[in-house]
Structure 1
Amino acid sequence: MSGRKETVLDLAKFVDKGVQVKLTGGRQVTGTLKGYDQLLNLVLDEATEFLRDPDDPLKTTDQTRRLGLIVCRGTAVMLVSPTDGTDEIANPFIQPDGT
């Protein structure tokens, strides 16, 4: 094994493109990826946070909050996904209320 650490993600292809980031604690932000490092610290420009539902903190609402330029610490990053080319679909596992 070499002493050089490499990340599993190749974020170079997402620089200057829109990304969605989920953080520990349930926070979710979108923005333009401006930079990153090997520890997965991310710099997002024009970032927007999706606010959580006060009744159910596991769900996000349509309400947003503009954050501007932010740094997401790598230890808090759980998921990074592109915003282009992804669509939200209905959950196929939700049972109808009549069950």
Structure 2
Amino acid sequence: MTSITPEFIREEILRQNYEISIHADDERINEQLTISQLELALTKCEIIEEYPNDPRGESCLVLGFTSENKPIHIVCGKNRSGHLILITVYSPEMPKWKDPYTRNKKD
């Protein structure tokens, strides 16, 4: 289990205590998502995968939805100051994802 919780994410977003990695921002633009859409999704997110042993530091995959009900996956971690960092952003789609909650099994 990681120390990153939905409550931590929500508080960091509401306080504007977060950063977006260059990679996450590039992916956000590619997915045609606004910062406001990301923030909304993160204030109502749920953790669907945890990565406590990631060599770059603990992180987790969260699922949130835009106001248009579009699912968004965001990998979240903590920066060196202990604040939220958005590592990557994408829309969960086939073939990798069966639905927003479930990975497709590898053959």
Richer in strand (by share): 1
TM-score, normalised by the number of residues in structure 1: 0.29
Richer in helix (by share): 2
**Larger-gyration structure (1/2):** 1
